[in-house]
Structure 1
């Protein structure tokens, strides 16, 4: 499952982006560097020096909104003070970096707004990010280090969005119009490139501002 996840995410990004010159521009070297980083990470095994790194552990592996079940009764109509969520489809569960799960869900929510006009998905995104604890408090005076996980999440969200192009049958339709698809690929590349560069100021003005502001 780790091999399959790698194949449909990081291993595919440069191949996909190369089909969109307006998105590729001069970003090839950065995309290659991100691919190399991920290739090494997908070979990591437990007990290889990550025992004290809370970012690593067992992850869901396919954490998107379609694998989250919500109660049928809206919260404002319920007498219960809390609502239960059910996470399903665990066959991709694997050892990995938690940014893969968090970034996949965020990327999926952005896609729903981009391709379907589901503006409410951005409210869900903001609530999820806030509930997860972003932005983390800076403990050592280094903003970029305190946002380390946020940059990784943003990078993987970009990889998720780029993957919209191949998450379909080979002859199946695009997720949206050609123009929508190209804009999505460009947005995904921006997330990857800016996440790799740790450009906090750029993200503060983006749809991912909740991770940093």
Structure 2
């Protein structure tokens, strides 16, 4: 087996392949933040329409940050197909809102499946939503109002909810993401296998909930064995995959928001996407006391629209799973004591949502998810 290519080797090969095409570039700037692919900002030798820079993503048959972890190259086709299918789809907030948000995918230019290359639109001055709030906090929170952040959270929920509903009836999309079995396995493992592993890390907090955690794992397995009940999902829907321009939330003009990294698109419960996004918003508030996290959660719950009780409980359950599996290991979030406290919160969410305890949820930050809930949506 050939040794994994170095970053420099990949960069040189990309330059060679682009030479003589309309995407020929004078410079490739490596970008950080992703784990699966090698990502660069391309400075085009000749601007293309209004674009002087674009983004190129290159995939290998392994994770970029961990070559020992093998990945299926079909993820390139899956992502490019999602970007193409969603090119004309967006969610735009009311014209009365300031700023006015448009949530969409970046424009898609090229997919070279043979070599694992994709070229997409560059958001100039872009930053992901998580870093937007963490960078220079609290000075960057000035002029951010609760109503505007409620609208932002609502728009993010409306976008992914509309994708779930539309893609559910798109046979071509379903058949394509169904092929992403490896990514489905990874998502299941990092949610439900890790959930059980957390018991060993925090036995004094979690051991008493082992039986319920095991039942949650069994439920997740049953879901995977019932594909007709699953929908195409993003698979990695979190603030790190939401891009916007720095300072744009304080602006008075229209704001483009990109939903990126669709390579983990797969069949799954819609709660997987909701739980990850809301869980990460909650961490902003829990670890850093950034009120924007709670404001966006309230908007997100509003944006989901009518839900059945079962759908609502499944979403809240997934929030708890995410807090335990990812919220307790994300680097540089909080102190060891804060991490333990989050494990306690995650446990309470999982246990009480599994029991469907309405009296419990009414006293939490997640009561807002029942505002639009009925016995049948």
- For normalisation by structure 2, the TM-score amounts to 0.47
SS in 1 for 2:268: strand
- Who is 1:209 aligned against? 367
- Who is 1:16 aligned against? 198
SS in 1 for 2:188: helix
* Contact 2:234 2:273 (C-alpha < 8 Å) held by counterparts: yes
Is 1:60 aligned to residue 234 of structure 2? yes
| Per-residue deviation, 1:114 | 1.4
| Per-residue deviation, 1:192 | 0.9
SS in 2 for 1:61: coil
* Contact 1:154 1:191 (C-alpha < 8 Å) held by counterparts: yes
Higher relative contact order (CA 8 A, sep 6+): 1
Q: Which stretch shifts more, 153-162 or 36-45? A: 36-45
SS in 2 for 1:26: helix
Residue 320 (structure 2) aligned to one of 131, 154, 158: 158
CA distance in 2, matches of 1:7, 1:126: 29
Gaps of 5+ in 1: 51-55, 137-145
> Which has a greater percent of strand?
2
* Contact 2:317 2:353 (C-alpha < 8 Å) held by counterparts: yes
Query: Using a 3 Å threshold, how does the CA distance of structure 1 residues 74 and 90 change in structure 2: closer, same or farther?
Result: same
Q: How many residues of Structure 1 are paired with residues of Structure 2 in the alignment?
A: 188
* Contact 2:281 2:293 (C-alpha < 8 Å) held by counterparts: yes
Is 1:74 aligned to residue 249 of structure 2? yes
- Computing the radius of gyration over CA atoms, which structure comes out larger, 1 or 2? 2
Query: Using a 3 Å threshold, how does the CA distance of structure 1 residues 43 and 3 change in structure 2: closer, same or farther?
Result: farther
Is 1:95 aligned to residue 267 of structure 2? yes
* Contact 1:63 1:102 (C-alpha < 8 Å) held by counterparts: yes
Query: Using a 3 Å threshold, how does the CA distance of structure 1 residues 166 and 91 change in structure 2: closer, same or farther?
Result: farther
Is 1:41 aligned to residue 223 of structure 2? yes
SS in 2 for 1:85: strand
- Who is 1:193 aligned against? 351
* Contact 1:200 1:212 (C-alpha < 8 Å) held by counterparts: no
> Which has a greater percent of helix?
1
* Contact 2:283 2:327 (C-alpha < 8 Å) held by counterparts: no
Query: Runs of 4 or more off by more than 6 Å in structure 1?
Result: none
CA distance in 2, matches of 1:165, 1:208: 17
SS in 2 for 1:30: helix
Residue 127 (structure 1) aligned to one of 280, 284, 299: 299
Residue 278 (structure 2) aligned to one of 106, 119, 134: 106
SS in 2 for 1:58: strand
* Contact 1:107 1:161 (C-alpha < 8 Å) held by counterparts: yes
* Contact 2:235 2:265 (C-alpha < 8 Å) held by counterparts: yes
- For normalisation by structure 1, the TM-score amounts to 0.80
- Who is 1:26 aligned against? 208
Cα deviations across residues 77-131 of structure 1 (Å, max 9, x unaligned)?
12x4xx5432101111000110111111111111121122222111011111112
